[in-house]
Amino acid sequence: MPTPNVEAVKLDELNGWRIRHGQAELLVAQQGAHVLSYQVDGQPPLIWLNDQATFKSGKSIRAGVPVCWPWFGNLTRNPDSVQAMRVSNEPATAHGLVRAMDWELKGIEAEGESLKIEFVLPYPENGLSGWPHHVDLTLTIVMDEQLHIHLTSHNRGSETVSLSQALHSYFAVSDVRNVHVDGVDGLRYIETLDDWNIHSQAGDLHFAGETDRIYLDTPPTLSIVDAHWNRRIELASVGSRSAVVWNPWTERAKAFSDMADDGWQRMLCIETANVMDDVVTLLPDARHTLGVSIASKPL
C-alpha cells in the first residue's frame, strides 16, 4: 500500500494541501474545497492550474475544479424552483455561494490502494446569506488510478429544496484548437451565445471560437481527445444528466484579470452538472451525489 505524503501549503492568502499518493499529486485549497491541480508523474497535468490565478480570501479562483452550489451561473437563468430558494433583494453572485467559503478538512485516509480526502461545509448558524435552507455539503476526493470527485447534498431541513450545481472542471489540454469532445454527437444543447436557443450537435465537438454550451440528457461518459498529447481524458459522471462546455477564447480571456491573454489555449471546461431540467429536488432528509471520475488513457 503506497504511503501518502501530505504537505500543508500557503497559496498567498489561502491555506491548502499538496498530497502525493502513488504516482499522482493533488493540490487542493481549503477555500471552496477547491481542487487546484492534479497530475500523474511523467504525464501532462489533467486539471489545469491557471498560472495567473489569484488566491485571495473571499475571492473565487479561476482554475482547477470550483464547486458551483446551490445555483449554477446567473441565478436568473435558473428554473423558477431554484430561484425561489433565495430570499434576498441583493444581486445574486454567479455560481452560488460556496466557492469562496472555507470548508473543513474532515480527514485524509487510505482505503486499500486508494486515498480518500473529505471536506465538509459547516452549516452557518443563520444559514447561508439569502439562502436559509439547512443542507449539509460533503466533498469527497479519491485518488487511485483515477481522480474521483463527489459532492453530496443532504437536506437536513423540513422543507423540500431545489438546487442547481456543477463541478466546474478546468482540464489541461495541449491546445484547445486541436482537441475535440467525444460523446456529444446527436445531443441537444442550449447555445448561450445564440440567445439561449436549443440546437442539435452533429458529430464531435471541435473548437474554433468562444464556446459556452449546456448539453442536455448527456451520456454517463464524455471524453476530451487530445492527439498532440496522445491521450483521452475520460469523464464518467454520476448523478448528472447535463454538462456545460466552456472556453472563453481570445476576447473574453483578455477581459479576465486573472488569466493570461493566451490562457484559453491551454484549458477546456467540461462541467459535470445539474442544470436546467436536470436540477436537483431534495425532500427532507434526502441526499443527492453529483460526481465525476477522471481518467487519462492513451490514444
Q: Residues with catalytic annotation? A: 168, 271
Nearest to 159 by CA among 21, 286, 275: 286
Distances (CA, A) of 99 to 135, 216, 220, 250: 16, 24, 25, 25
Residues 6+ apart with CB under 8 A from 26: 18, 19, 20, 35, 37, 38, 117, 141, 143, 147
Q: Which three cell numbers stand for residue 77?
A: 437563468
Contact 86, 79 (CB under 8 A): no
* Cβ count within 10 A of residue 8: 10
The candidate with the shortest Cα–Cα distance to 206, out of 225, 188, 220, 187, is: 225
Write the CA distances from 88 to 62, 84, 100, 131, integer angstroms.
26, 10, 19, 8
Q: What is the rounded CA–CA span in Å between residue 210 and residue 253?
A: 10
Q: Write the burial class of residue 69 (CB in 10 Å: 0-12 exposed, 13-18 middle, 19+ buried).
A: buried
Distance CA 16, CA 185 (A): 39
